[in-house]
Amino acid sequence: MSHLAIIPILLPLAAGIACLALERAGLVAQRAVSLAAALMMMAVAALLLRHAGTGAIDVYALGNWPAPFGIVLVLDRLSALMVAVCAALALPALIYASGGTDALGRHFHALFQFQIAGLNGAFLTGDLFNLFVFFEVLLLASYGLLVHGNGRARANAGLAYVVLNLTGSALFLIALGLLYGTLGTLNMADMAHALARVPAADQALVRTAASLLVVVFALKAALFPLSFWLPSVYGAAVAPAAALFAIMTKVGVYALLRVSSASFAGAPVTADLLQPWLMPLAIATIVAGTLGALAARRLAVVVASLVVVSTGTLLAAIAASGIEAIAAALFYLVHSTLVAGGFFLLAGRIASARGEAGDGFRTGQTATRAVTLGAAYLVFALAISGVPPLSGFLAKLMILRSIQEAPFGPLAWTALLSSSLLPALVLARAASVFFWEAKPAPAATAEARLGLPALAMLTMLAASPLLVAFAAPVADYARATAMQLRSPAASEAVLGADPATARERRP
């Protein structure tokens, strides 16, 4: 049995523990460990993509206990893709933080690594209880990262964030208890077979538990009307933490996609649980995020609102349900996560370069290195708005083509096109404030603020052009992933070709 599937969890976990042990050694040692782990994680992610790209599905049984009795990790195309996106986001964020943001509070690097471990675990786990465990790991780390740097705004946002997620965790546990009590399993592959045989007397209880589970995932994904918390929370975090947070909503989307395809879709009791309302709520999420971007008065809050828009866009494609729609959603997921993460880094760079004005839409000093920042701003604004020739245009075009025949298709088209045009106007207005309606900055300041943050931002800047350059192989991988999600191969890999035998052995 290959140990490749567990490395994305063990590597950041070990790095986080090492960073805690090195607290007295100072930030330089912690940075070295954290950056080395992030670089190794990039290499591991490349190996995972290469291996999963062959179509192989690896099942890693912890303690060598077979499913459905033991804990299993499942490495397939989708989990490998998500781990790779997380690694590609984490390395530039850590480079940015190493420029001085990590010195604003204690344990930044340990918390960052623990959050990566939680994210990777959530992407790789094959059962719902361990999905809950990894959710808690990444959430506990995110609580610390959110308040890193102190400040009233971060404390207020952190309190609301903690309360919401504690509520979500309680609902998650209730749902798991109900499902385990009625089905006798929480393994995602095994649940599909158990759901197909639910007695009539238990069906209402199962639907209630499954509905609670969907509500929890909708909260994590910031699906309307559970999206109100995200802009203020993500907008309050320091730039590298906010960049990593860009993938946290995608965990909720991933969980909805994974559970619906692996467990719910084939069972009559849960088959219609998502489809009737997912498209209308996805459209409402797009509208809510767009309105939030129009109302925002800080660049980081605009970007956070556009993260909400990306959730709605992803779920609109998932609601359309076809292979091409899921493939388009996965292409858009890669684009939106990396571009939003890079834009958060740019917002932090602009805030530090404008002095007291920060990233607020008010007159202040001209951003130092305005030409470089202005060029980067233009690329990120075009990419996140979906304007050609960058990856946002390709991703949204794929989604528009895939949902045109879906229910509410014309309404979804209108929402998606509006979510490109209106935020572009907001970002254009913000650019005029940042780069034209401003006072000249002292020349000395420009020299003092070069370094790792700029390097990280420029690294993320390459994501959208690279997605355009490699659009064909990325789209092919996404299409193959969508087909694999519809195939029974994953269930057979986890349980074997005869899942009924496994269930008969259960005590």
Structural domain boundaries enclosing 372: 273-440+451-488
Enter the DSSP assignment of 264: I
Strand (E) or helix (H) holding 75: strand 72-75
Q: Which pLDDT tens digit goes with each residue over 103-154?
A: 888 899 999 999 999 999 999 998 999 999 999 999 999 999 998 876 777 7
Q: Is 104 inside any structural domain?
A: no
Q: Which pLDDT tens digit goes with each residue over 478-505?
A: 999 999 988 776 666 776 644 443 444 3
- Summarize the confidence of residues 453-472 as an average pLDDT: 90
Q: Is 32 inside any structural domain?
A: no
- Summarize the confidence of residues 252-260 as an average pLDDT: 91
pLDDT value of residue 442: 55
Residues in CB range of 252: below 8 A, 6 or more apart? 217, 218, 219, 220, 221, 222, 223, 311
Return the axis-axis angle of helices 128-146 and 248-259, rounded to nearest 10°.
170
Q: Is 265 inside any structural domain?
A: no
Report which of 55, 10, 31, 70 is spatially closest to residue 502, judged by C-alpha positions. 70
Q: Is 25 inside any structural domain?
A: no
- Which ranges of 260-298 would DSSP assign to H, the alpha helix? 275-295
Count of structural domains, the chain: 1
CA–CA distance from 112 to each of 130, 164, 336 (Å)? 20, 21, 21
Cα–Cα distance, 346 to 344 (Å, whole number): 5
361 pLDDT more than 60? yes
Return the axis-axis angle of helices 391-403 and 299-320, rounded to nearest 10°.
30
Q: Which pLDDT tens digit goes with each residue over 366-423?
A: 656 677 888 899 999 999 998 888 998 999 999 999 888 778 878 989 999 999 899 8
Strand (E) or helix (H) holding 74: strand 72-75
Q: Is 107 inside any structural domain?
A: no
Q: Which pLDDT tens digit goes with each residue over 152-200?
A: 777 888 888 899 999 999 999 999 999 998 888 888 888 888 888 888 8
Q: Is 126 inside any structural domain?
A: no
Number of separate helices (H) and strands (E) present in the chain: 23, 2
Instruction: Please work out, in degrees rounded to the nearest 5, the angle formed at the alpha carbon of residue 240 by the alpha carbons of 239 and 246.
Output: 90
